[in-house]
Amino acid sequence: MKNLKLIHKVFIGLVSGIIVGALLYPMKENPIVSKYIVSGLFEFLGQGFLRLVKMIIVPLVFASLVTGTAAMNDVKKLGRIGIKTLAFFMGTTAIGIIAAIVGANILKPGAGIVLENVQKAQYVAKETDSFVKVLLNIIPTNPIEALVKGEMLQVIFFAVMTGFVITILGEKANRLQGIFEEVNSLMLKMVSLIMELAPFGIFGLIGKTFITLGWAAMKPLASFIIVTYILLLFHGLVVYQILLRVYAKESPVAFLKKILAPMTLAFSTSSSAACIPLSLKTLKEEFNVEEKISSFTIPLGATINMDGTAIMQGVATVFIAQLYNIHLTTNDYFMVVLTAVLASIGTAGVPGVGTIMLSMVLSQVGLPLEGIGMILAVDRIVDMGRTTVNITGDLVCSVIIDRIEKRAENAEEKVQGKVAAKI
Ligand code: ASP
């Protein structure tokens, strides 16, 4: 086990979790299995690992983002990276949901399904915040509270400001900058140590998911699940790979191989936020991405970039419209795209939120919110796939921005070299 790479160990954890979980599924009512395996072994391994990961997210994001911004040393550069990142996030989310709407209209997941056969979970509609409120909420009124509560956008805002002001202060803040750099190294080392336990954590998380999955509820919704997965795969294997080839000159197969570990973690935790530490580590070790870029793109992406979630929402909208025989116009679809892109910003990177946010999209075009109850019944299995796509998008974006910036820096150096030579 010692000589295996993390990717292989994580994969063994995933496969053995699936096998053990699925094998024990028929015995899930057995008191010994439910007490000692589901609530005992699986719970301890899965939640123990997840808690360790959550423990490091806030200090890691804060320290690495302060260090990254301070190292940027240039406001213009920060703005340039920020705009490119946001454009990439929004653009790919829009591509994802448009493809999902077109694909679901062709594949028709809702056709031929008898409504009565579909199990419904309890769904209570929640109020969603207005866009202005979402924007205002990015500014923390109390940064300590933001850190304590793990409000990621607020933490990002405060960390970027801190890093920026450290740059302005220059020499006066040298010691402070050094402290943040040391805290950052400390957190990264902690990530490496905790990731040694990832195979066991993933085994517990996925084992519990497979033993508790409602297979019976899934059958009537199989077409919804399959169509969503087809479109998720299209986004992950075609759209991202074309972008990577064009903008980062990366080979798609090599890229996917290198990110297997964070992808597996996303699949088993259904949480983009939980993948932040491993994504940062992977970008550094496998792709040599500058920390000042990944420390910005990864936490931000885990919080606002949800292509997989938007794809699910696109398929779900078409699916529910087909189930209830409601015709949607081109205008309606346009509203769906717009709302889903905005909703993905407000979707937290934790399990299940994307389906709750679906209410925003459905009510925008007058579709029955009851449909969400049906989808909730099979949510976990779809969440695993969409979270994997969500974090893949963040990784793709980081590599692309890094390569674009490096090319720009090289070009700048060349020009400066020529000017110096002339002088
Ligand atoms: N679980 C997703 C994530 O963390 C969010 C969602 O779609 O529910 O990325």
Q: How far is the CA of 381 from the centre of ligand 1 (A)?
A: 12
SS3 of the chain: CCCCCHHHHHHHHHHHHHHHHHHHHHHCCCHHHHHHHHHHHHHHHHHHHHHHHHHHHHHHHHHHHHHHHHHHCCHHHHHHHHHHHHHHHHHHHHHHHHHHHHHHHHHCCCCCCCHHHCCCCCCCCCCCCCHHHHHHCCCCCCHHHHHHHCCHHHHHHHHHHHHHHHHHHHHHHHHHHHHHHHHHHHHHHHHHHHHCCHHHHHHHHHHHHHHHCCHHHHHHHHHHHHHHHHHHHHHHHHHHHHHHHHHHCCCHHHHHHHCHHHHHHHHHHCCCHHHHHHHHHHHHHHHCCCHHHHHHHHHHHHHHCCHHHHHHHHHHHHHHHHHCCCCCCHHHHHHHHHHHHHHHHHCCCCCCHHHHHHHHHHHHCCCCCHHHHHHHHCHHHHHHHHHHHHHHHHHHHHHHHHHHHHHHHHHHHHHHHHHHHHC
Q: How far is the CA of 341 from the centre of ligand 1 (A)?
A: 14
Using CA atoms of 175, 177, 183, 184 in order, give the dihedral in degrees to the nearest 10. Answer: -150
Atom number of ligand 1 nearest to Cα 349: 4
Confirm whether 21 is domain-assigned.
yes
pLDDT at res. 90: 94
Confirm whether 364 is domain-assigned.
yes
349 lines ligand 1 (CB under 6 A): yes
Atom number of ligand 1 nearest to Cα 387: 9
Q: Residue 77: how many CB atoms within 10 A of its CB?
A: 14
Confirm whether 37 is domain-assigned.
yes
DSSP at 118: S
359 lines ligand 1 (CB under 6 A): no
Q: How far is the CA of 184 from the centre of ligand 1 (A)?
A: 27
Confirm whether 192 is domain-assigned.
yes
Q: How far is the CA of 383 from the centre of ligand 1 (A)?
A: 6
347 lines ligand 1 (CB under 6 A): yes
Question: Tens digits of per-residue pLDDT, 123-140?
Answer: 655 566 677 887 898 999
CATH of the domain at 76: 1.10.3860.10
Task: Report the residue among 350, 357, 361 best suited for mutation to probe ligand 1: largest number of ligand atoms under 8 A from its CB.
Answer: 350
Q: Which amino acid is at 100?
A: A
Residue reference for tokens 């695993």? 384
272 lines ligand 1 (CB under 6 A): yes
Atom number of ligand 1 nearest to Cα 356: 8
Residue reference for tokens 């213009």? 76
353 lines ligand 1 (CB under 6 A): yes
What are the per-10-residue average pLDDT scores of the chain (423 residues)?
Answer: 78 94 90 91 95 94 91 80 93 96 93 70 63 86 95 92 92 93 94 94 94 82 95 97 94 93 96 96 95 92 95 96 91 93 84 89 89 88 97 97 92 80 74
DSSP at 145: H
Confirm whether 256 is domain-assigned.
yes
Q: How far is the CA of 347 from the centre of ligand 1 (A)?
A: 7
Atom number of ligand 1 nearest to Cα 302: 9
Q: How far is the CA of 340 from the centre of ligand 1 (A)?
A: 13
309 lines ligand 1 (CB under 6 A): yes
Q: How far is the CA of 1 from the centre of ligand 1 (A)?
A: 32
Confirm whether 274 is domain-assigned.
yes
Confirm whether 325 is domain-assigned.
yes
Question: Tens digits of per-residue pLDDT, 309-365?
Answer: 999 999 999 999 998 889 999 999 999 999 999 888 878 888 988 998 898 899 888
Nearest-CA residue for atom 3 of ligand 1: 349
Between 198-212 and 6-24, two packed helices, what is the crossing angle to 10 degrees? 20
Answer whether 191's CB lies under 8 Å from 262's CB.
no
- In angstroms, the CA 307 to CA 173 distance is 39
Atom number of ligand 1 nearest to Cα 347: 5
Q: How far is the CA of 309 from the centre of ligand 1 (A)?
A: 6
The residue range of the domain holding 302 is: 6-422
* 3-state DSSP assignment of residue 259: coil
Atom number of ligand 1 nearest to Cα 353: 8
- In angstroms, the CA 110 to CA 225 distance is 11
383 lines ligand 1 (CB under 6 A): yes
Q: How far is the CA of 74 from the centre of ligand 1 (A)?
A: 33
Q: How far is the CA of 308 from the centre of ligand 1 (A)?
A: 8
Confirm whether 1 is domain-assigned.
no
pTM: 0.91
Nearest-CA residue for atom 7 of ligand 1: 354
Q: What's the domain count of the chain?
A: 1
What is the distance of C-alpha 234 from the center of its chain?
17
Q: How far is the CA of 386 from the centre of ligand 1 (A)?
A: 7
CA distances from residue 282 to 30, 126, 201, 235, 242 in whole angstroms, order as listed: 41, 37, 18, 21, 21
